[in-house]
Structure 1
Amino acid sequence: MEKNIGQVDRVIRFILGIALLALLFFVDGGIRWVGLLGIVMLFTAAVGYCPLYKPLGINTNKEK
């Protein structure tokens, strides 16, 4: 699995992941379950690979 997420993209995903997970604790109603997407954001930031980037031809990783 080739890494296709660059450093800036990883930091942004990490911050958004934490913010989305916070929805689970601070928001009531059905919208709080959107916070589970934070798990996906944190996972892709940790491994450096986004499966949606592959078919779209996106690669923000500048390392060779």
Structure 2
Amino acid sequence: MKTNVGSIDKILRIVVGLALIALSVFKPEVVGYWGYIGIIPLLTGLFNFCPAYTLLGLNTKGKSAE
């Protein structure tokens, strides 16, 4: 599995994922249970791999992707 998520992209994914999950837990009236969709950006940020990027041929990691 080649990594395809760069450092800034990784940080943004983790922050957005955690924010969505936190909103679902502490303020469900704001986003409802849809906030748990934040698990997806959180996991892609933690694993440095995005399946959608692979399908679209994108890479924010740069030339040194393994």
Which of the five TM-score ranges fits, normalised by the shorter chain?
0.7 to 0.9
SS in 1 for 2:54: helix
1:29 Cα deviation (Å)? 4.6
Give the TM-score normalised by structure 2. Answer: 0.83
Q: Distance in 2 between matches of 1:14 and 1:48?
A: 10
- Aligned residue-pair number: 64
TM-score of the pair, normalised by structure 1? 0.85
Aligned to 1:53: 53
Pairing 1:19–2:4 present: no
Contact persistence 2:18–2:42 (CA under 8 A): yes
Letter in 1 for 2:49: Y
Whichever structure has more helix as a proportion of its residues is 2
Aligned residue for 1:44? 44
**CA distance, structure 1, for counterparts of residue 62 and residue 53 of structure 2:** 14
Superposed CA RMSD = 1.7
How much identity, in percent, do the aligned residues show?
36
Distance 2:43 2:2 in 1: 15
Q: Which runs of 5+ in 1 are unaligned?
A: none
